[in-house]
Amino acid sequence: MNLLLRNALLINEGKRFKADVLIEGERIKRITSPPTPLSTREVELLPSPCGEGSGVRIDASGLLLLPGVIDDQVHFREPGLTHKGDIHSESRAAVAGGITSFMDMPNTVPQTITVEALNDKFELASKQSMTNYTFFIGATNDNIEELKKDGAKRAAAIKIFMGASTGNMLVDNERSLERIFSEAKHIIAVHCECEKTIAANKARLIKQYGEELDVTFHPQIRNAKACFNSSSHAVELAEKYNTRLHLFHLSTGKEMSLLEVKPLSKKRITAEVCVHHLWFSDEDYAEKGNRIKWNPAIKSRADRDALRQALIDGRIDVVATDHAPHTWEEKQGSCLRAASGGPMVQHSLTAMLELCRQGIFTEELVVEKMAHAPAELFGIKDRGFIREGYYADLVLVNPDACWTVSKDNLLYKCGWSPMEGVTFSHKVEKTFINGRLVYDNGVFDEEYRGNELRLKSYELGG
């Protein structure tokens, strides 16, 4: 079936312009700008856009047309942790948030640390995911030979936890780190927090205040020093071995000194920031409590402002979610007991567009960091841009449709959100995946399943 999107305001590759977009099958057939000057009624009465076969027309007047978001860091919790979330439930929420592709982390049960486990997750996603998908393979202290297998190249990248988090896949043996950085010919993506610094901070605070520390102590335990000590070490290893390194969820202003301002295509070391680190600061713990307890911790307003500036000036390349749902029961208790992480895929794009409305970012920048850059960085074939010949992964957003996040409109399996009570000015109206209208104003094409992301070849050796 052919599909014609009429009179949309495209935001793509640093430009905005009105256009008609013709979709044929899974791909964009033609982009016409300016749009053909026809009234809505005339469009409804016309034959198929291509003059043959069946066709559907959608009047997108007044709506923004964006390339679908590619989220390079999610924890959809399957297999093994499906009481928190699963590939189907969380990809469904992602579709409603304008995310058309995701990259899932390896700290599941069993952990995705073998090629066999990686292939099992791809098979699972082919039956469950409403969006396009790929996965990371995880590093351990002793699985370097597995990471070097040809089958591991199917993964988006190798994930190293250089700081313990949910699932405890900590890689803390220096010889193992050296071997992974020097021998694995793939992108290496890292969670950076220094365990020795965290342990010392924790012991000091417990001695001073006791075991029942509230969440305001979380950024003191996992502080800027813990982050910088680890991320700077990862950068040292990458520079030593000329490794292609991607730094996940940076959270401090100090870490920005590790990054360069230059075109993404010329970088060997790239960086990501998450929506919650751009939206919240430690001033929000009083109201939000454990809802905003993440690893790395949300830190000061100065750190948040430094992250925003680094996103604008190009030191940070990608915006993602680190979507990590837990049950409400798991989020209760003291700072030392409550689980770290929270759901975000349903609200990440609208939150970023809200920051545009506040004058902090531009919509062009949001599109660059949430769609273009992830596609380029990971070498995703024919996605991330609105281009003729590319897959039609598209999102129509109403820029003037105020709505408030509440339990009644949440789609996460865990049933809660740190964004509850927030009113957004933008709303995702329609999400197209591979040319298919999968989400339409609250209605899902429940039978649709996305495709595996195809990754281009990488030259990572030198």
Which residues are marked as active site? Answer: 322
* CB atoms inside a 10 Å sphere around CB 145: 10
DSSP string, 3-66: EEEEEEEEEETTEEEEEEEEEETTEEEEEESSPP---HHHHHHS--TTSSS-EEEEE-TT-EEE
Rounded CA-CA distance 212/209 in Å is: 8
Tokens of 176: 């193992």
Task: Identify the helix (H) or strand (E) that includes residue 367.
Answer: helix 363-367
Rounded CA-CA distance 321/91 in Å is: 13
* CB atoms inside a 10 Å sphere around CB 355: 18
| φ/ψ (deg, to 5) at 367 | -65, -40
Using DSSP bridges, classify how beta strands 443-444 and 436-440 pair: parallel, antiparallel or unpaired.
antiparallel
Rounded CA-CA distance 76/65 in Å is: 27
In order of 207, 297, 299, 355, 454, the CA distances from 281 in angstroms are 26, 9, 6, 14, 37
